[in-house]
A = this chain, B = another copy of it.
Amino acid sequence: MTEQKGKAKDLLVVGTVAIDSVKTPFGEADSVLGGSATYFSVASSYFTSVRLVAVVGEDFPDDYLGVFKKHNVDTSGLVRMKGETFRWRGAYGYDLNVANTLETKLNVLTQFDPALTEEEKSTPFVFLANIDPDLQIKVINQLKAPRLVALDSMNFWIENKKKSLQKAISMVDMIILNEGEARELTGHSNLVKAAKEVRIMGPKTVIIKQGEYGSLGMFGDEIFSAPAYPLEDVFDPTGAGDTFAGGVMGYLARHGGVTGDIVRQAMIVGSALASYNVEAFSLQRLTDLQFNDIVSRYNEIKRLTVFEDFAH
């Protein structure tokens, strides 16, 4: 059940909608709904109203659109083009922290050229999921006085379009990267150094995802360490990072701000959502949550981290 505030605190995500085939030690899922913008939009929909800008092909099943509808995600910016949908095939070993990409077929993604509507341009909170940084820059240039723009990226762009990526990073307020990407981008193995270096590039807020270990946030003079919720059964980590980002941005948009306290809470919300997402393949679990499930896992994470003052 989606519980959205009706205020003008909207969130726009530009990214991928994909068809995934995933194999883990616990089973496999063939041709299921995936993509960065998919996980992100469903996750954030629990907190705010979301507009999706992405592209799919002629083969994209109408059934899958039902997922967005269920979560009141505005899909008027989801363009259907001639050709096939972006497809990703991957596998995980027992170390679920590392995804092995077996096949990537970009298909219609190669023609993706997001032209925003007037309404989309005026969305106050904007997330640029992992796509070509040149497209991210194109989107940013269309925005009209956004309150917060954040982006994600991946090793491929760091290695192949570093200049464009650096430019995109210089234009945003916040970045959400995983630790390997932060290290590769900056050349610093130490994450505090890496995060500082990224902040010098532009974004005031840097959030570094650490997989099963949680995440580190740096903003102002503050560092915040958010644990992952320790799960006994992780079935499929696909989309965990995008789900985390969706939780973070959804919560920020809901509260219309980015104070240190709100960012801390938002990261815990992201952790809570990501922990549910990995309990099943594709978006099975993520689409199935009650609002109270999220609050209750948030409270469990609080119990997980709380400790009293030093006792002399």
Interface string of A229-266 (1 = CB under 8 A from B): 01111100000000000000000000100000110110
Q: Is the CB of B230 within 8 A of A223?
A: yes
- Give Cα distance in the complex from A302 to B192, angstroms: 18
Oligomeric state, in copies: 2
Residues in B whose Cβ lies below 8 Å from that of A231: 190, 192
As a 0/1 sequence over residues 298 to 312 of chain A, the CB contacts with chain B under 8 angstroms (1 = contact) are: 110011111111110
Instruction: Verify if A224 is at the interface (C-beta below 8 Å from B).
Output: yes
Partner of A95, one of B189, B214, B225, B304: B189
- Asked if A216 CB lies within 8 Å of chain B CBs, one says yes
Q: Which of B94, B192, B230, B262 interacts with A230 by CB under 8 Å?
A: B192
Q: Contacts of A295 on B, CB cut-off 8 Å? A: 310
A interface secondary structure, majority: mixed
Q: Which residues of B contact A190 (CB under 8 A)?
A: 231-234
A231, A234, A262, A304 — most chain B CB neighbours (10 Å): A304
- The B-contacting residues of A in range 196-215, CB under 8 angstroms, are 196, 210, 212-214
- Cβ of A280 within 8 Å of any chain B Cβ, yes or no, is no
